[in-house]
Structure 1
Amino acid sequence: MSDQIYVGNATVDGSADAGWLLGHFKPPGDPRHSQDVEIKWGVHPPGEERARWAGGETRTALLVLISGRFRLEFPGRSVLLSEPGDYVVWGKGVDHSWQAEEASTVLTVRWPSVPGYQAG
């Protein structure tokens, strides 16, 4: 039974896979392996931004602000998350980008976990 329980720290464990804690990219047999969902603990310094827009997305995503100020850009719309607990959900096919306006920590959940996508 103990091999079905994993205890860790999101900041420490996330550093190995660009913040991703759970998804298809974890080894089979690891309790963090899932083909249903991916979870990321993102820690971003002020001014950090996505290098390029994410496009052609086949998953749905939820991003929750834990701390800081975090801006998401969508075609024709900008969303600012400024209070802990603010969140945004976007569906399949919605391109996006982001920028940390202040040092920010965010939790991202996306589903399903699609093999072929990198953890980064």
Structure 2
Amino acid sequence: MALYERFVGGEKIARAFTIDGSDEDRQLRALAVDGIDGWKRVKNPEGSEPPVSDPSAPFDPAKHTGDEVLAYLEKADAEEAERVLAAEEAGKKRKGVLAARETLASLQEE
């Protein structure tokens, strides 16, 4: 993944994340290399790509937005949904996410 930022008059006015090698990445890389329209490629502080999360690790609601957690819960089985909701209750306690417990309970009753 690459991050590009656009500056005009010293002020950042745009930001774009791309997948390395994609058409968008190649276009923005060309603009950044030539300094066209104020685009620059930004490297993360370590100078390497950000770490990729372990796909085998259990879903951690604290590392996701409320909308992402709700989307995950829609696809999770009842046991996994209950585990995620318990983690949410022990952690961030977001009302919108915790309200999903009531919705899931009513769906299971049907």
Higher helix share: 2
Structure with the larger RCO, 1 or 2 (CA within 8 Å, 6+ apart): 1
Higher strand share: 1
Q: TM-score, normalization: structure 1? A: 0.23
Larger Rg: 2
Q: TM-score, normalization: structure 2? A: 0.24
